[in-house]
A and B are shown apart, each in its own frame.
Chain A
Amino acid sequence: MRVALFVTCVNDTLFPDTGRAVVRLLRRLGVEADFPRAQTCCGQMHFNTGYRDEAVRLARRGVAALRGYDAVVVPSGSCAAMIREQYPKLAGPSGPFADAVARLVPRTYELTEFLIDVLGVTDVGAYFPHRVTYHSTCHSLRGVHLGDRPLTLLRQVKGLELVPLPGAEECCGFGGTFALKNADVSAAMCADKARAVLDTGAEVLCAADNSCLMHIGGMLRRQKSGVRVMHLAEILCSTETAGAR
């Protein structure tokens, strides 16, 4: 099986630890993922902000970069949802681009889907002796419909104490350019989320999307709360011998 890692531009540029964790985790499970060098951004920011032409150009590039693989693993519910939900709409009903999208969509997996649905593992052999809470980001929940896959994986991590996050399914207020265009509402939503996280007493907040974590984590750090944010992949990659990073 030829597997490609679509690391996403946010992870590539700002959160390389997440990308490294995915590579190491998959290697531990016997999968050598390729990193197609031509990949950049899925185009979601442009699409969601109303710049459709740019989004189509980026989608075409992305589809070309990921051609020929049996599976594409994406450590982001949001970018996986962009490919699966929006690319078909951008591509239209027919033509070479539409055909390429139709081939890519069923092969695109968010990381936890790939682990559970394709590799069939729920215990990835991780060790992470910390109190952790999980935020189910909107696009993980309502875009790619991860369901309880992330929690299933977290429950198998040795040493990890999983505490439920009240209102986990509520938006943190990131929403891409929403955080800038409606900064006051976004901050109000984030403040409520940050308080819910602090109420759990968790040391670590994890999610399947670094963009939302960047948002909540930015506020938690501003508040000097001491709570760390970590992508789910970094927790799943941790073992007794090697730390997350």
Chain B
Amino acid sequence: MTVTFLGMPADRPFPRNAARAVRNSQLRFNLRKATRTIRARRASVVAEAPDWAELREAGRAIKEHTLRNLDRYLVQLEEAVTAAGGHVHWAADAAEANRIVAGLVKATGETEVVKVKSMATQEIGLNEALREQGITAYETDLAELIVQLGDDRPSHILVPAIHRNRAEIREIFSEHMSGWGRPAPGDLTDDPAALAEAARLHLRERFLKTKVAISGANFAIAETGTMVVLESEGNGRMCLTLPRTLISVVGIEKVLPTWRDLEVFLQLLPRSSTGERMNPYTSMWTGAVEGQEFHLVLLDNGRTRVLADEVGRQTLRCIRCSACLNVCPVYERTGGHAYGSVYPGPIGAILTPQLRGMGSELDRSLPYASSLCGACYEVCPVAIDIPSVLVELRARARHPWAERAGMAAAGWVFERSGRLARLQRAGGRLRGLVPRRLPGPLAGWTDTRDLPEVPKESFREWWDRTDGGRR
């Protein structure tokens, strides 16, 4: 199986990354504040939609139908985009997509591109691939700009700089803006309005002089060939309208059959992601207008393999809203970097190991990065049963030998009630000998928590001795 690249190095297992993250109190504070704010906003706008359950079911059903007929809808999309004057390219993996995009940029003779916030281009590591070809990609989403200027990695799907507070952002702008274009003003404060103004001036210059733009798309309508991008800042629309050449890299699962299907998703997505009834900017374009060129790069990069999996394929319904990240108690404590992929949180824990396979220690550890509390499933606008997929992936993972031995021993004891009873009696007799601290992997419990006292008599023994309390 080829290794699918997901925009981040995957060297250490999740628990080790997480251990480092939970000890960073600034990160814990930033994340707690940010996720709780978005979580509350989402809850309030979802609560006011009386038909939320029906919308969610409709979203699930439309995506399910589309995925089952993806071959047909993708060809229909290609025909519609081509008929409207666009060019369609097919990319089997990250390397091919990067090669196509770099070739298209080079053909324009330009060496600079502006980018609309896009998960697909991060997934394939497009910026790095373009840099190798002498092309500089400028991120124009405010949060992506912060990440790029700080030579950092995104830690959230929707709010990639969620791990940064405004003091850190002021430092990043002051130090690094000058290296990328118009510098930040010398007297820059950490007032949000001042930070936004510095970014606005910096980006405005960039928009006006760049001839090529690269985007992703939230939705691609097969019926009409229309691309749809939802955003908050208007910077995306600058990229989508000003440059002469527009290249959109879109995962094949982003297709919707008809224009009308947007009715459902334009309600589900903003409420689930930013906690807004409607996002400020929804840009739609069909093919190319006169004087401009439009290229659509349809990206597989492991998706067909996921689609073939009976349990895992529901993962492809994801519309990248990040509601699951914002309610996840694990994500809230670790942040996104611990997941070693551009897709963090609960959705990342099921998407990454499916796209990339479970060859590395990190990817094998991701399905375990959850307490299975179920909060993610509850908020998912397309009803992806994330806990069930996690458990399915766990069943396919290779387990460490000590754990296998422990599980086999427990299974053997539970196989016969007599064995359990004998173990309980032995435990009751030896109860004074249980140490306060346990060795090996069990120390993870006793480092911070006391063990429960072993009772003198199990329930079973009590029942037998007293005839269920009647004696």
Contacts and interface: CB of A to CB of B under 8 A. Distances in A.
Given A51-B407, A185-B330, 5 more contacts: A23-B469, A37-B460, A173-B329, A175-B371, A222-B450
A161 B454 CA distance: 30
B329 A9 contact: no
Contacts of A222: 448-450
A50 interface: yes
A50 B395 contact: yes
B374 A182 contact: no
Contact of A171 (B22, B373, B461): B373
A188 interface: yes
Contacts of A17: 455
Given A12-B460, A16-B459, A35-B468, A58 B414 contact: yes
Contacts of B457: 16
Interface residues of A, number: 70
B414 A41 contact: yes
Interface stretch (B202-210, B247-255, B257-265, B439-447): B439-447
Contacts of A218: 445, 449-452
A7 B459 contact: yes
29 contacts: A16-B458, A19-B463, A27-B469, A38-B417, A40-B413, A40-B415, A45-B407, A50-B394, A50-B396, A50-B399, A51-B399, A51-B411, A52-B395, A58-B411, A61-B414, A138-B373, A138-B374, A138-B375, A142-B374, A142-B375, A178-B371, A180-B444, A181-B15, A182-B18, A183-B447, A183-B448, A185-B333, A189-B329, A222-B448
Interface of A: 7, 9, 11-20, 23-24, 27, 33, 35, 37-41, 43, 45-52, 54, 57-58, 61, 65, 89, 138-139, 142-143, 169-171, 173-191, 214-215, 217-219, 221-222
Given A15-B452, A218-B449, A179 B444 contact: yes
Interface residues of B, number: 66
B449 A190 contact: yes
Contacts of A40: 413-417, 420
A54 B373 CA distance: 22
A173 B417 CA distance: 30
A182 B410 CA distance: 20
A12 B459 contact: yes
A137 B333 CA distance: 19
A41 B377 CA distance: 26
A217 B411 contact: no
Given A181-B15, A182-B15, A222-B449, A47 B391 contact: yes
